[in-house]
Chain A
Amino acid sequence: MSGTRTETGGLIDRAEILRFRFDGRDYTGHPGDTLASALLANGVRVLGRSFKYHRPRGVWGGWFDDPNAILDVGLDGNAIPNCQATTTPLLDGMESRAVNAWPSAARDVKGGLDLLHRWLGAGFYYKTFIWPDWHLFEPTIRRMAGLGAVDGKTIPDYVADQIHDFCDLLVVGGGAAGLAAARAAAEAGQDVVLVEDHADLGGGLFRRGGSIGGQSPAEWVAEQRAAIETAGGRILTRTTAFGVYDHGLVGLATDRGFARAPRLTRMRARRTLMATGALDRPLTFADNDRPGVMSLQAAAEYLGRYGVLVGRRIVVLSNNSAGQSAVAALRAAGAEVTEADPADGPIRALGGARLNGVQVGDRQLACDSLLVSGGLTPVVHLWRHAGGKLDWSETANAFLPGAAPEGMAAIGAANGTFNLQAALEEARAVALGKPPAPSASSYTIRPLWPEPGAKGRQWIDFQHDVTLKDIELAARENYVSVEHLKRYTTLGMAADQGKTSNMAGLAAMAAIQGRPIPEVGTTTFRPPFVPVPLELYHGAQHGQLLNPLKRLALEPQHRQAGAALGEYGGWLRPGWYGGKPARDAIRDEVRMARTTAGIFDGSPLGKIEVMGPDAAAFVDFVYYNTVATLKPGHIRYGFMLTESGAIYDDGVIARLGSEHFVISCSSSHVDGVEAMLEIWRQDGNDPDRIFIHDATQHWATLTVTGPKAREILGALVLDLNLSRDVFPHMSFRETIFAGTPLRIARVSFTGDVSFELSLRTAKAADLWAALTMAGADQGAGPIGIEALSLLRAEKGFIIIGKDTDGETMPHDLGFGGPRQKKKTAFVGDRGLHSEAANAPDRRQLVGLSVPEGSPALPTGAHLVTGDKPRSEGIVTSSYVSPTLERPIALALLARGAARHGEVLRVWHMGQVRAATVTPPCALDPKGARLDA
């Protein structure tokens, strides 16, 4: 036991005790603790195991700069994997365990893997498991080297809010510089937002200790906070700016920890100030990964913020002046501190999982904690996300912000201004848009970087087990670019994303190659700066809210009629009705529609109105078929094509007047057709002479189809002659029903007499009631979309996207007329005469019949012939026809139109069956039923 809780100090609430578990043992902590600070206070040293060698790992950092302590945490039956112990606030009842360790971090059974390290260097997996196949080994290796386990359960109410916000000035970081800047700007009248990822403001002040402006850090921070809020500034704590995106958008994650759902703020600020501070770098020496070796700044942080003294007997190794206040604070708290100069010779940490000393040159020093500082590295991630440049500073021995990205500035330690007074002055000036006064830095550092060839195992990346030798190996194998080095060795790919390892890694590469550090450069900084829950990105947008179903106005009536509702093309629609099994229900509905009539809710059918003086020429251009010659009161079936000539949609177009058309496109295709019309309307046309209005959801459509359709419609007592001579197939009438306009189209998707009745959605229930009542007298009733799909297949009518693919052209379906004869230009005209369009082996629509007694063919099966079969086509639709009492199918088949009568083999999942090519239409090919 080395870490202890001090008697006083810190921001924790000592009056309240929180109970929690780690690796099966009970501990206590206080509100204000993180999991890491509470475990350190309880004397726990080993909080994790490294990724590859399963070496014991203790806490290195004080906040997001820790690569070692990664825990699976549970609370109230909910679990979140891979929580960083150093940033996860402690809550009462937390259950935690170290990832990648069993049964515990302290006694991990795979710890023995470390003995094999000589054979497990960088690139080991690529070189060893290449033969015979990586995939043989992958599952085992992934189980052995891993992070936390996902339990697969959804946490109730864990739904992220997503907020769009705006401000004049966003200050990232609530340390001394950030607070000073936010106050200056807010008091000057700017709309200021200050974000800080700790629960408390103050940042590095609690590490530094001492006084500021004659006040204690806590008093000074409270005063700044009050001043900012009085001036109208907003302060968001527990909020991390995790990325800067295009056009200066800053992503803010609030509560990315536990127990509360995270919140995403998309912040648009006129200016962003980066006051993100600086991180302490590790020193690279033999066995520098031992638990008990810790960042000096982090030790100061645990003391100042959490009241935890990490050790009693401490050796400090530091090459810079920033740690002086920390040393003083540790001594004041009662620790025995020995300072050693890291330049005095080779360094080696002594002891095993329990550190007991350090060798520096010839000196051997006993200690329970070894606090090291390799110099301060400004946190410049957001700067680089935004495209800002970095300049190497010889005096600071670090990359500092250089040329600024638009709308951004850096202040304080993030800008290399490590002196507190200078940082405050700089912050106040920059906040008001003034240049900061130059100031002499009190920070001194002697360069101390990894030495290639040094003895012992010297860790660069603690979590991913990348040592100095691995970097030397990578250099020998010519992975010398930092981006290659990273991917070959996994340097910087750990959960901390190189916050502790990147500088040492690239400095090692620079030393190996004898190049200056700035020439080697850094890897790309990419968002997110810290791990954020995926929940943040989708928030409430999942399931029904991501892709809401469109609902029918008559849904209550369908439910009352016993409809089996399902999603069809984005709509919730009746698949069939009644309590029977689907197959029986669909069969009975088809038979009813063929003998009496079916009543079908076709409301999702597209109803796009095109109006205006240029409407006729416009629809003639967007349609494959000639529409200009269509007379008012009539309807034409046709296709819309893409410019490559492929069919985009099929449907009917009705002409209501000389300047008024209604396009009835496929139910699932309305949005796409409307967009296509809108694009052409504005491209090459005068948009003030053509008007497009999608009225699909404003009109309900009910279809009556079957031999008794005319009788059922007659019962509605409409002011309309329904006789076939006066109201023939493919004509259109407008009348009145129950005081509201009713549009009736005589079109048929079933091959039987059909009337499509459309009226205002608000009146749909009246029409449904009238039709079903009249239908009942004739033995007719509702049919679902499954029955309709079968009825149309009996007639060989296609469904776009099912019986066609992205290459099908109209002449493949037997509609070659306009391709040869249409005189005016239309969308896709040139594409219909390409080499591909004229190819002799194009796949054409056919029907298939099977030998008597055979079951229906599988949809998607391949059609093959000959000794060396290759697919000549596929089955696109297949049913057992209740009307014909035999299986029917539609298919796309190479040269199919000329192959009627040919017997083919149908191959599916290794099974082969026989089928005969037929015309697509299997029922009433002469169309007698249509004119009945």
Chain B
Amino acid sequence: MQLFPCPFCGARDEREFHFMGEAGKTRPDTQQPVSDADWAAYLYDQRNDKGRVREVWMHLPCREVFGMQRDSVTMQVLGTTAFRKAGA
């Protein structure tokens, strides 16, 4: 059972977290033409990297969405990034 650091609540049990996907995907601007390939890549393509990964997680009790850097082999947590603007 892993311990994940919520940027707002501190270290919590992994069962409190929801995996939301790999980081780095930006929703295509659907007001402009988007090719089938680009849309399919946005929806379905996963890098599934071995080793260092950047992911988006939600801490369910506080509902905050944040970025987490992990090692998918050693399960080591390398750091987290809050998405909320500084000072907000």
Binding site for B on A (CB under 8 A): 245-247, 249, 266, 268, 387, 643-644, 675, 678-679, 682-684, 687-688, 824-825, 829-831, 834-835
Contact = CB atoms under 8 A, between A and B. Distances in A.
B2 A246 contact: yes
Given A246-B2, A679-B65, A688 B36 contact: no
A825 B31 contact: yes
Contacts of A687: 84
Interface in B19-57: 20, 27-31, 34, 36, 39, 42-43
Contacts of A268: 3
B20 A834 contact: no
B1 A246 contact: yes
A923 B12 CA distance: 54
A247 B1 contact: yes
A643 B39 CA distance: 10
Given A246-B75, A682-B64, A825-B29, 14 more contacts: A246-B2, A247-B3, A247-B75, A387-B74, A644-B43, A675-B18, A675-B58, A678-B58, A678-B63, A679-B58, A825-B31, A830-B28, A830-B39, A835-B36
A382 to B, nearest CB: 15
A266 B1 contact: yes
A678 B65 CA distance: 9
A825 B30 CA distance: 6
Contacts of B39: 830-831, 834
Interface of B: 1-3, 14, 18, 20, 27-31, 34, 36, 39, 42-43, 58, 63-65, 74-75, 83-84, 88
Given A245-B1, A644-B43, A682 B28 contact: no
Contacts of B75: 246-247
Contacts of A683: 27, 65
Contacts of B43: 643-644, 831
A834 B36 contact: yes
A247 B39 CA distance: 37
21 contacts: A245-B1, A246-B1, A246-B2, A246-B75, A247-B2, A247-B75, A266-B1, A675-B18, A678-B58, A678-B63, A679-B20, A679-B65, A682-B65, A687-B84, A688-B88, A824-B31, A830-B34, A830-B39, A831-B39, A831-B43, A834-B39
A242 to B, nearest CB: 14
Contacts of B74: 387
B1 A249 contact: yes
A78 to B, nearest CB: 31
Contacts of B18: 675
Contacts of B63: 678
Contacts, number: 46
A249 B13 CA distance: 11
A272 to B, nearest CB: 15
Contacts of A831: 39, 43
Contacts of A682: 64-65, 83
A830 B30 contact: yes
Contacts of B27: 683-684
Nearest to B39: A830
Contacts of A387: 74
A899 B20 CA distance: 41
Nearest to B58: A679
B46 to A, nearest CB: 15
Contacts of A643: 42-43
B58 to A, nearest CB: 7
Nearest to A644: B43
A47 to B, nearest CB: 37
Nearest to B60: A675
Contacts of A825: 29-31
Contacts of B88: 688
Which of A247, A644, A829 gathers most chain B CB within 10 Å? A247
A-B CB proximity, top 4 nearest: A682-B65, A246-B2, A249-B1, A830-B30
A139 B74 CA distance: 42
Contacts of A246: 1-2, 14, 75
A415 to B, nearest CB: 23
A829 B30 contact: yes
A434 to B, nearest CB: 26
A835 B36 CA distance: 8
Nearest to B64: A682
B43 to A, nearest CB: 6
A114 to B, nearest CB: 45
A546 to B, nearest CB: 14
A731 B28 CA distance: 36
Max chain A C-beta neighbours (<10 A), residue from B31, B58, B63, B75 = B63
Contacts of A245: 1
Most A C-beta atoms less than 10 A away, residue of B29, B30, B75, B84: B30
Contacts of A824: 31
Contacts of B30: 825, 829-830
A688 B34 CA distance: 30
A114 B88 CA distance: 77
Nearest to A692: B63
Contacts of A675: 18, 58
A324 B67 CA distance: 60
